[in-house]
Amino acid sequence: MSIRPLSLAALAAAALLTSPVFAAEGETAADSTQAQQQQPQMTAGQALQQLQRQIQQLGQKLQGIQQTALEENPDLQKQQDDFADMVEQKMAELGVNAEEAREKLENIAKEAQQKAESLTEEQRQAMQKEYTEQRTALQQAQQEVMQMEEVQAAGDALSKALVDGMKTVDESSEQLLAQLNQAQAQYQAIMQQVMQQRAAQQQQQQQQAASE
């Protein structure tokens, strides 16, 4: 079973996906995901919220297990730190400062949460656009880096070492990680469908306006 590096991929993705993002509401989710199959009438916003909670819970549990494993194994901690440095260095070579990008995402999400009741629709959409653009740029850079042979080799070695170390702390770690990956995939699938639906609606509205 191939598992991506937990700290930089799974848990980082969990952190992004469980931020107070601007989940769509009132749109019907597709029947293609497990969450939607369980509740056919669930809206996309509801499905996203349910998956966010699941991702957050799994991520927190795995993070606790991983932290214990790292504390008990200094060599594993060094291996993870070295890999993190490698990834951020490669991202910097692509022109992306990972730390600054993550901080900006956190600040946008925090501001949106704090001002949720006072934001106008225009302001909310502007913040959503900025958040999406920043997150997309960060994810694209990370994905590009993860495709580099040198990074893949180091990541595979770290993945195995992390999971082995975590299994000594909690034997269910590998199963929990698989559940997290599945929930993230479902979340991304719903988000993609929501964006496609919105694009189709906008196109339809434009066509109707042009025909009037």
Instruction: Spell out the domain ranges in the chain.
Output: 6-211
Check residue 41 and give its pLDDT: 57
From first to last of the 212 residues of the chain, give the pLDDT tens digit: 333 344 444 444 344 333 433 443 344 444 444 444 454 557 888 889 999 999 999 999 999 999 999 999 999 999 999 999 999 999 999 998 999 998 999 999 888 888 888 988 898 899 999 999 989 989 999 999 999 999 999 999 999 999 999 999 999 998 999 999 999 999 999 988 888 888 888 888 888 888 77
Q: What stretch of H or E contains 34?
A: helix 34-38
Are 139 and 105 in contact by the 8 Å Cβ rule? The answer is: no
Are 163 and 173 in contact by the 8 Å Cβ rule? The answer is: yes
The four Cα atoms 68, 72, 74, 77 give a dihedral, to 10 degrees, of -20
Q: How far is CA 105 from CA 22, 87, 96, 125, 138, in A?
A: 12, 19, 14, 15, 10
Check residue 175 and give its pLDDT: 92
Distance in angstroms (rounded) separating the CA atoms of residues 7 and 66: 8
Are 159 and 5 in contact by the 8 Å Cβ rule? The answer is: yes
Check residue 3 and give its pLDDT: 34
- Angle of helix 149-169 relative to helix 44-72, nearest 10 degrees, comes to 80
Distance in angstroms (rounded) separating the CA atoms of residues 45 and 29: 8
